[in-house]
Amino acid sequence: MAILGNLISRSLHIRKRLAGKMASPRVYQLNTLRNLLERGQYTAFGKHYGYDDILSESIYPADSFRKSVPAHNYNSMFNQWWHRCLEGEENVCWPGKVKYFALSSGTSESSSKHIPVTRDMINSIKKVGFRQFYSMTNFNVPDETFTKGILMLGGTTSLESRGDYYEGDMSGISAKNMPRFLSSLLYKPGQKISKSPNWEERIRLIVDHAHKWDVGTLCGVPAWAQIVLEQIIQKYQVRNIHEIWPNLAIYIHGGVSFEPYEDSFKKLLGKPITYIETYMASEGSFGFQARPGVEGIKLVLNAGIFYEFVPFNQKNFDENGEVIPFPESYLIDEVNAHTDYAIMLSTCAGAWRYIIGDVVRFTDVNEHELIIVGRTKQFLSLCGEHTSIDNLNKAIETVNKKLHTSIREFAVAGVAHDHLFAHHWYIGCDDTNIRTEDVRQIIDKTLCEINDDYAVERTSALKEIFVTILPSHTFTDYMKATGRYGAMNKFPRVLKGQQLQNWNNFLESRIS
């Protein structure tokens, strides 16, 4: 196997060298847009917005496209167009009939969003996956890792048949359509276990079979990956996961920031491993961390997705985080490293100028690398404090380090207080020695240091910070109670509106 691993590693290096000179990011993206418009011009959407006229105006019709097609969110895209795909209509937003729909499983209030997944999108996801595989040669990964199992903690591959289409988690759709050689040789937990529709049952089966596998790469959302590793360690009464999987060398994570989980995750290991961040959503696979020691996800710019970057400000978004019809937007070669942008996509699955909800910041514009700093609808700004998800993560990371503790989950809500405002933090932690006041002071001090707006408002309208410490399982219990328990579901970091009301009702029901 060592020889095989060496051969695979050498072949990946050769494949990179043969890739040749790459086009500029702008050329890749303009070619992508033109290809998308050419494929979409005969669809109902393309005819409605005059794609044939847009194509005839210029070789690179980005300006005409931005002037002619308004921005869409999920509701406008679904209510006007995608619902027709669910009803079996062909050529609505992309050529042909949609066979798969990914059920949105992020932090939004609705769990029933249906995102079209076309054959072209499945091929796009495979292309990005292979690009990431090639990029492994940039990291100090042992050659034998390429011959070891890849454990993917994703959604079930047992998709629901709805007559003309199938629906399920995007991770399950991707796993069901992965290359056969990868599925049969390296993929864990294997198709049989992955078909189990119940997440708790899949965890049990994974734990039961863990000692039979030689896992070299682990993939999954941090919270769920940590739960699986802890249960394996507990079942087999070992000190760390490397006593079960001695060749575990890579953890590929995404979905949420890894920073709040990093310290507690490392305690489950017997030796250092390589951490690689990836960027994937129900709407597609966008990129991955391509360089070691560098913070930032490198976007793949020639895989059927056209990106626009909308400055996340009051000019382009209202107070509820909704985008205006024709926002100011920039292409990949027009962005800077000092602005927070909402990502707007046009894809080979029939999403057009679609606000995905993520807010990003570029760490290296020349390498088109970025980090996710928040969500368009998940931020706190009751009185101008402009507190982002990135700020919240930094505060929790600081608490973990200063108090030598492990906060497993958390959420924050903005509340009225004494005719003004306050933030209420809900902290998931099983450390019985942790003091609420210590947590409160560290959070408040950290946010004042990293966010000038927050510091100003703490002297005026933002009068108080409340902290409630809860057992970690409270958060997973809530996910179970709301039908959102599973590998691809994340607890929302900011609670607002009905979501906050549901959370408060749940907490009250546990007291009574």
Is 384 domain-assigned? no
Is 42 domain-assigned? no
Print the domain residue range for 412: 389-511
Is 450 domain-assigned? yes
At residue 434, the pLDDT reads 94
Give every CB contact of residue 294 below 8 A, 6+ residues apart in sequence: 363, 364, 369
Q: What CATH code is carried by the domain that includes residue 397?
A: 3.30.300
In terms of Cα–Cα distance, which of 273, 342, 272, 284 is closest to 309? 342
Provide the pairing of β-strand 274-281 with 284-288: antiparallel
User: What DSSP element (H or E) covers 125?
Assistant: helix 119-135
Which of 159-163, 209-213, 489-493 tops mean pLDDT?
Answer: 209-213
CA dihedral 196, 200, 203, 207 (to 10 degrees): -120
Provide the pairing of β-strand 215-220 with 250-253: parallel
pLDDT at residue 163 tops 80: yes
pLDDT tens per residue, range 52-67: 999 998 777 999 999 9
Rounded-to-integer distance, Cα 499 and Cα 486, Å: 18
At residue 3, the pLDDT reads 46
Rounded-to-integer distance, Cα 381 and Cα 308, Å: 25
Is 190 domain-assigned? no
Among 17-26, 250-259, 367-376, where is mean pLDDT lowest?
17-26
Single-letter amino acid code for the residue at 303: A
* Residue linked to tokens 């595989």: 133
Please give the residue that has the higher pLDDT: either 380 or 215.
Answer: 215
At residue 19, the pLDDT reads 54
Strands of the 100-103 sheet, one edge to the other: 114-117, 100-103, 166-168, 160-161
Backbone angles phi, psi at 199, to 5 degrees: -65, -40
Q: How far is CA 386 from CA 324, 380, 440, 445, 447, in A?
A: 19, 6, 19, 16, 11
pLDDT tens per residue, range 449-477: 988 889 888 988 898 999 999 999 999 99
For residues 82 and 262, the answer to whether their CB atoms sit within 8 Å is no
Is 486 domain-assigned? yes
Rounded-to-integer distance, Cα 294 and Cα 369, Å: 9
pLDDT tens per residue, range 71-119: 999 999 999 999 999 999 999 999 999 999 998 754 444 446 899 999 9
For residues 303 and 280, the answer to whether their CB atoms sit within 8 Å is no
Question: CA 501 from chain center: how many Å?
Answer: 25
pLDDT at residue 21 tops 80: no
Calculate what percentage of the chain has a pLDDT beyond 70: 92
At residue 1, the pLDDT reads 45
**How many domains does the chain contain in total?**
1
For residues 342 and 324, the answer to whether their CB atoms sit within 8 Å is no
Burial 36-64 (b: 16+ CB within 10 A, else e): bbebbbebbbbeebebeebbeeeeebbeb
Among 89-103, 228-242, 275-289, 451-465, where is mean pLDDT lowest?
451-465
Burial 215-252 (b: 16+ CB within 10 A, else e): bbbbbbbbbbbbbbbeebbeeeeeebbbebbebbbbbb
Show the beta-strand stretches assigned E in 83-210. Answer: 100-103, 114-117, 149-153, 160-161, 166-168, 187-188
- Please name every residue paired with 298 in a beta bridge, in sequence order, or none if there are none: 288, 369
Give every CB contact of residue 117 below 8 A, 6+ residues apart in sequence: 98, 99, 100, 101, 102, 170, 173, 349
At residue 482, the pLDDT reads 84
Mean pLDDT of the chain: 88
Strands of the 149-153 sheet, one edge to the other: 187-188, 149-153, 215-220, 250-253, 274-281, 284-288, 297-299, 369-375, 354-364, 340-347, 305-311
User: What DSSP element (H or E) covers 464?
Assistant: strand 462-470
